[in-house]
Amino acid sequence: MTSVVHVNSSICGFIHIINGKFDGKNIIVDIETPCSKVKQMSSMEIPMMETLDVKDNYVMDRAQEAHCCPGCILPTGVLHVCRLESGMISKTLAKQVETMTIEFKE
């Protein structure tokens, strides 16, 4: 079953919809986005084994190539879709929790 995650980048005002599906050793990801930078990485076939490290990471490399800003939360959303599809995060738990937040306090 396809995983769908909405990422609300409220600082830049963009809402992205990430769809991901496990296919063999890869996660097929398509992103609906109004952001011109994210559009450059909107269709990816992500090798699951290349998402396990922070530094050597397929998704982060694509975000860097697209010149996403360092604070962009979209790549993290893509990595969560990969983990949902691979079973590293429980889909049931994710649906119960529903959101992840970053709160700015002063």
> Looking only at Cα atoms, what is the longest distance across the chain?
46
What's the whole-number average pLDDT of the chain?
96
- pTM (2 decimals)? 0.94
Using a pLDDT cut of 90, give the percent of the chain over it. 92
**What is the CATH code for 3-97?**
3.90.1010
Q: How many CB atoms lie within 10 A of CB 42?
A: 16
pLDDT at 106: 87
Question: Got the DSSP string for 32-73?
Answer: E-S-HHHHTTSEEEEEGGGGS-SSS-HHHHHHHHTT--TT--
The model's pLDDT over 9-47, given as tens digits with 9 standing for 90+, comes to 989 999 999 999 999 999 999 999 999 999 999 999 999
Task: pLDDT band for 1, please (50, 70, 90 cuts).
Answer: confident
Domain positions in the chain are: 3-97
